[in-house]
Amino acid sequence: MKNFITAILAWAGMIVAASLANCATAGDSASAPTLKDAYKNDFLIGVAINQRQFTGEDTNGVALITSQFNAISPENVMKWALIHPNPVTNAYDFGPADDYIAFGEQHHMFIVGHTLVWHNQTPRWVFQDENGRLLNATNAADRELLLQRMHDHIQTVVGRYKGRIKCWDVVNEALNDSSSLNDTNLLRRSSPWVRILGVDFIVKAFQYAHEADPDAILRYNDYSIENPAKRERLITLIKYLQSQHVPVMAIGSQTHANLSWPGVELEDSFLTEVSSLGLPTHITELDVNGSQGGQRSQSADITQNAQANGGGSQVDSAPEKLAQQYANLFKVFVKHRDEIKLVTFWGVTDADSWRRNGKPLLFDGNWQPKPAFDAVIKAAQP
Active site residues: 173, 285
172 part of the interface to ligand XIL, by CB under 6 A: yes
Cβ closer to ligand XIL: 143 or 153?
Answer: 153
Alpha helices in 161-297 (DSSP H): 192-197, 200-212, 228-243, 264-275, 292-296
253 part of the interface to ligand XIL, by CB under 6 A: no
Total chain residues near ligand XIL (CB under 6 A): 8
End-to-end CA distance of the chain: 58
Residue 281 neighbours by CB under 8 Å, 6+ apart:
250, 251, 252, 253, 271, 274, 275, 336, 339, 340, 341
* Cα separation, 279 vs 297, whole angstroms: 29
302 part of the interface to ligand XIL, by CB under 6 A: yes
Q: Is 301 left (phi over 0), alpha (psi -120 to 50) or beta?
A: beta
Angle in degrees, CA 125, 128, 132, rounded to 5:
90
With CB under 6 A as the contact rule, the residue among 39, 354, 363, 367 that binds ligand XIL is 354
Cβ closer to ligand XIL: 114 or 143?
Answer: 114
What residue is closest to ligand XIL based on CB? Answer: 354
68 part of the interface to ligand XIL, by CB under 6 A: no
Residue 174, Cβ neighbours under 10 Å: how many?
24
Residue 350 neighbours by CB under 8 Å, 6+ apart:
356, 359, 360, 361, 363, 364, 365
Q: Is the peptide bond before 115 cis (omega within 30 degrees of 0)?
A: yes
298 part of the interface to ligand XIL, by CB under 6 A: no
261 part of the interface to ligand XIL, by CB under 6 A: no
Cβ closer to ligand XIL: 206 or 334?
Answer: 206
267 part of the interface to ligand XIL, by CB under 6 A: no
Among positions 69-108, residues that touch ligand XIL (CB under 6 A) are 75-76
- Total count of residues recorded for the chain: 382
Contacts with ligand XIL, 126-165, as mask; x by CB under 6 A: ----------------------------------------
Cβ closer to ligand XIL: 142 or 223?
Answer: 223
Shortest Cβ 304–ligand XIL spacing (Å): 10
Residue 17, Cβ neighbours under 10 Å: how many?
10
- Which positions touch ligand XIL (CB under 6 A)? 75-76, 172, 254, 285, 300, 302, 354
